Amino acid sequence: MPRKKQTVCKFEDRNKYNEYGSKIGKRNNEQINATGCDFRMIVGRRSNGKTYPTLVFDGIKQWIDTDGEEAFAYVRRWGDDLKDNAPQLFNGCISDGWLNWYSKGKWNNITYYRRCWYLVKLDPETGEVKEKAKKPLAYAFALNLAERYKGPDYPMVKRIIFDEFIPEKKTQGYIPGEWKLWKSLLSTIIRERTDVIVYMIANTISKACPYFDAYHIDIDEVEAGTLATYKYSGGGTLALEYCKDSGDTTVASSKYFEIDDDNGTGSMITKGEWETDLYPELPRRLSHVNRTVFKFFIKTGRNKVIQGNIIETNGPACVFFHMKTTPLQYRSTDYVYQEVWDADLLDNPLIRIGFSRTRGVDKLILDMVANNRAFYSNNDVGDKVRAFINMNSR
């Protein structure tokens, strides 16, 4: 009787996979990890090798290599995000066999219970749990519930993974006061330690992201395929990798997305370009130069200012938004909308902290934006205006 041919695991093929199972030629975190930065921010197209290598090679692998001594924290914005995604979070490395291969058959599945994930060994025939790890692999945290987590210590957490820090446009969006919640959560997990690495992962959905401003990143100046590093006064460091999709790694399935649809989402999915909605441009007949009856300014962070021109027409007035190309002077007659109060501007009575839905001029501007009487110099400006209004209106 002929001997049955033994199947060799695909991860053993050194022509296709490296020693820990990362596919050769496909993106992983080796480049950004080599910077040694405290924060490692990764943005790029969907399915571009951001979340999988971070969860698997910087999360599960470290747990296995240290025999459970190094766990990680997995962060999402909303509790509902965790409820929907937690049970399936690690399906990729389970179904492709990596977990079973790397653990040498000790573990072949991952279970989720009371905000924690555990490695388990399931009977392949009955599905019965034969063994469950005593120490958690990872802990789940929802940013909107950050204040609830204060109290317990997490000394075993060596890595924090904030997934989708730029929200999808049709979700609930950012949390009011999100930056403070993020810092509070980091404090809860890290305490006084200095050995924690923070990963922040997102698809290229919108440049109007408060984290770019908070970490002093001018995302308009960052090009695809580059890795930039930043150092802060407190000694912390951040590396930002804007993933570029080279031709030899573009997946064949791009034929399903490269449709050149009106919203540009096809290019975002296959090329890593930023997904922006289409915003109406100012018609030529409404040139704002001689029709402007009122000007105001929106300070959007990183010293970038958007100018708004309210324009008279033969019908209802409209507003035109465009980037201001000269420095803002803060004259006593300038209406300026900002996110936070600046004590140096106490003498200017026209400084506004966000938009008020009951204040005359503010209400007029908001009504024009809401009722299709707003025009924009380009789509990036439209995204920035919408994001500012969404996060700074009351």
Cα 307 to Cα 295: distance, rounded to the nearest angstrom:
7
Same domain, 64 and 22: yes
Number of domains into which the chain is organized: 2
Give me the sheet containing 374-376, strands edge to edge.
Answer: 351-353, 336-338, 292-301, 304-311, 318-323, 374-376
Whole-number pLDDT of residue 84: 85
Same domain, 309 and 258: no
Question: 3 lies in a domain?
Answer: no
Highest averaged pLDDT of the listed ranges 5-9, 115-119, 166-170, 255-259: 115-119
- Tell which of 271, 295, 316 closes a domain: 271
Same domain, 180 and 212: yes
What is the DSSP secondary structure assignment for residue 23, as one 8-state letter? Answer: B
* Tokens describing residue 163: 């997934």
Same domain, 176 and 205: yes
Distances in Å between the Cα of 47 and the Cα atoms of 251, 261, 287 are 9, 19, 43
The band of 6, judged by pLDDT with boundaries at 50, 70 and 90, is low
Question: 278 lies in a domain?
Answer: no
Same domain, 223 and 305: no
- Tell which of 221, 242, 271 closes a domain: 271
Same domain, 266 and 288: no
Question: 294 lies in a domain?
Answer: yes
Question: 204 lies in a domain?
Answer: yes
Whole-number pLDDT of residue 268: 47
**DSSP symbols for 344-369:** GGTT-TTEEESB-TTSHHHHHHHHHH
Mean pLDDT of all residues belonging to the chain: 88
Same domain, 151 and 20: yes
Whole-number pLDDT of residue 33: 98
Q: Which domain holds residue 376?
A: 284-391
Question: 2 lies in a domain?
Answer: no
Range list of β-strands (E), 135-189: 138-142, 157-163
Distances in Å between the Cα of 110 and the Cα atoms of 113, 141, 322 are 10, 18, 50
Same domain, 291 and 263: no
CATH number (domain holding residue 158): 3.40.50
